[in-house]
């Protein structure tokens, strides 16, 4: 029960599209009810508009929840199958018997006692068979804990972990599965924490721009990255109350458009590299497939970022639900990429 790699992007886009359609349907239904009740009886407008819930308990939303649950379960099973294939040990192949020549005589070395010559009794066999799987499970658990600790030590790892929970709770708040009064402030704190973690990142592209002597095209993209990260820092200071609102709103505007330009550039680069990888020959197929898969999930992640940033630019009526889902999938995919990178270096 494993999803194909090329179906991941379609699944995510279908989820975002269904969320947008659901919100638009509820908005249109509410507007029609308000118009109808106003024309028939003016006194019943307030009653019907308040009685029209944006309630989560109906058949359509139960169907959407079931669909979301099935998708999440399939991704979990797919991820577990990848892990089990990655950690499964090959079964030992018995060595073929030696051919005995009748004409050649050889001197035999003294025999060494083996397990067959000294068989284990029944109690020792039971202990051996019980302890070996337990030892294997302990080793796997220790391996995953070491990867997780390295993941949290990375600045990007902490950022993606917070992003995952931030947009997970945004989805729950959007569907009114958790009380807004309790969890909405926590989501705002998550967002502010991530902004603080990224403060000062503009020095990376600025150093590369000043010391690596890039060409004109590379310099333009580095300047765009500097503008994006620096504007993000100014907007963070505005949220902290250190910068006035005029400068903060201008910084937000610059950061959004610079980020969108960077997404388009990265998406073009990944698509070109994917084309080149598919035409490569005389290379190790395992390494090639690994690079192709990494490039594919990078493209899906950039598409999710583009959907999120596009909602910030054009601000459609369904942006809250689509941004919740696209941010969730973007954080999950980027965290998964970092996990694979750390796991490869730890193995």
Mean predicted lDDT score pLDDT of the chain = 76
Q: Is 259's pLDDT higher than 60?
A: yes
Mean per-residue pLDDT for 29-43?
Answer: 58
Of 217, 106, 166, the residue nearest 331 (C-alpha): 166
Say if residues 338 and 160 touch (Cβ distance below 8 Å): yes
Determine contact, residues 212/221, Cβ cutoff 8 Å: no
d(CA 4, CA 233): 39
Q: How far is it, in rounded angstroms, from Cα 284 to Cα 151?
A: 28
Residue holding tokens 């993941």?
151
pLDDT mean over 229-244: 95
Q: Are 201 and 226 in contact (CB under 8 A)?
A: no
Confidence of residue 97 (pLDDT cuts 50, 70, 90): very low
Cα(242)–Cα(252) distance, rounded to whole angstroms? 15
pLDDT digits (tens, 9 = 90+) for 138-175: 888 898 899 999 999 999 999 999 999 999 999 999 99
Among the ranges given (32-41, 303-312, 336-345), the one the predictor scored with the smallest mean pLDDT? 32-41
Which of 118-132, 231-245, 331-345 is the least confident region? 118-132
In this prediction, residue 69 carries a pLDDT of 53
Radius of gyration of the chain (CA): 29
Q: Is the pLDDT of residue 49 over 60?
A: no
Asked if residues 211 and 249 have their Cβ atoms less than 8 Å apart, the reply is: no
Of 71-80, 99-108, 122-131, 334-343, the range with the highest mean pLDDT is 334-343
**pLDDT at residue 272 greater than cutoff 60:** yes
267 closest CA partner among 231, 224, 228, 305: 305
So what's the pLDDT on residue 27? 64
Range 244-256 average pLDDT? 95
Beta strands in 30-126 (DSSP E): none
Greater model confidence, 296 or 129? 296
Which pLDDT does position 78 carry in this prediction? 52
Q: What is the per-residue pLDDT for 117?
A: 43
How many residues are given for the chain? Answer: 347
Under 8 Å CB-to-CB from 22, ≥6 apart: which residues? 60, 61, 64, 321
177-188 CB burial, b ≥16 within 10 A, e <16: eeeeeeeeeebe
**pLDDT computed for residue 3 by the predictor:** 46
Question: Would you place residue 199 in the very low, low, confident or very high pLDDT band (cuts 50, 70, 90)?
Answer: very high
Distance CA 138, CA 149 (A): 16
**Greater pLDDT, 60 or 281:** 281
Lowest mean pLDDT among 19-33, 45-59, 130-144, 199-213: 45-59
CA distance 50 to 52: 5
DSSP 164-205: HHHHHHHHHHHTT-S-HHHHHHHHHHHHHHHHHHTTTTTHHH
Tell which residue, 204, 207, 200, has the closest CA to residue 237.
Answer: 200
> Is the distance from CB of 198 to CB of 160 less than 8 angstroms?
no
Q: How many whole angstroms separate alpha carbon 165 and alpha carbon 218? A: 35
Residue with tokens 């947008």: 20
Report the percent of the chain where pLDDT is more than 90. 52
Which residues have CB under 8 Å from 164's CB, separation 6+? 328, 331, 332, 335
In this predicted structure, the answer to whether residue 176 has a pLDDT above a threshold of 90 is: yes
Alpha-carbon distances, residue 301 vs 166, 173, 328 (angstroms): 17, 23, 10
Q: Which residues contact 199 (CB under 8 A, 6 or more apart)?
A: 233, 236
Q: Is the pLDDT of residue 217 over 60?
A: yes
Best-predicted range by mean pLDDT (7-11, 45-49, 119-123) = 7-11
- In this structure, are residues 256 and 312 in contact, taking their beta carbons and an 8 Å threshold? yes
Question: For position 283, what pLDDT does the model report?
Answer: 84
What does 319-341 look like in DSSP terms, one character per residue?
A: HHHHHHHHHHHHHHHHHHHHHHH
């Amino acid at each position: 029960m494993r999803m194909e790699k090329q179906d991941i992007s379609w699944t995510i886009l279908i989820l975002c599209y269904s969320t947008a359609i659901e919100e638009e349907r509820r908005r249109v239904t509410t507007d029609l009810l308000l118009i109808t009740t106003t024309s028939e009886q003016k006194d019943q407008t307030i009653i019907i508009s308040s009685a029209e819930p944006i309630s989560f308990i109906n058949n359509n939303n139960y169907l959407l929840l079931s669909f979301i649950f099935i998708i999440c379960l399939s991704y979990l099973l797919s991820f577990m199958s990848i892990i089990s294939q990655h950690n499964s040990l090959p079964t030992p192949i018995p060595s073929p018997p030696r051919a005995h020549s009748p004409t050649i005589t050889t001197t035999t070395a003294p025999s060494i006692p083996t397990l067959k010559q000294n068989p284990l009794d029944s109690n020792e066999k039971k202990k051996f068979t019980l302890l070996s799987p337990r030892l294997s499970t302990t080793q796997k658990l220790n391996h995953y804990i070491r990867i997780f600790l390295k993941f949290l030590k990375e600045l990007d790892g902490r950022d993606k972990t917070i992003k995952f929970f931030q947009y997970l709770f945004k989805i729950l708040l959007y569907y009114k599965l958790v009380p807004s009064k309790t969890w909405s402030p926590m989501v705002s704190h998550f967002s502010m924490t991530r902004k603080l973690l990224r403060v000062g990142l503009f020095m990376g592209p600025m150093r590369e721009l000043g010391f690596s002597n890039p060409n004109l095209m590379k310099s333009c993209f580095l300047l765009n990255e500097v503008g994006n990260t620096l504007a993000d820092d100014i907007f963070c200071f505005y949220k902290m109350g250190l910068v006035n609102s005029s400068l903060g709103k201008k910084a937000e505007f610059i950061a959004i458009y610079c980020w969108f330009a960077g997404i388009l550039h990265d998406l073009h680069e990944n698509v070109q590299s994917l084309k080149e990888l598919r035409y490569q020959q005389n290379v190790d197929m395992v390494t090639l497939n690994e690079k192709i898969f990494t490039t594919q999930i990078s493209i899906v992640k950039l598409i999710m970022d583009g959907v999120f940033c596009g909602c910030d630019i054009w601000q459609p009526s369904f942006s809250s639900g689509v941004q919740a889902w696209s941010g969730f999938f973007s954080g999950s995919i980027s965290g998964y990429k970092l996990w694979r990178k750390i796991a490869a270096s730890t193995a």
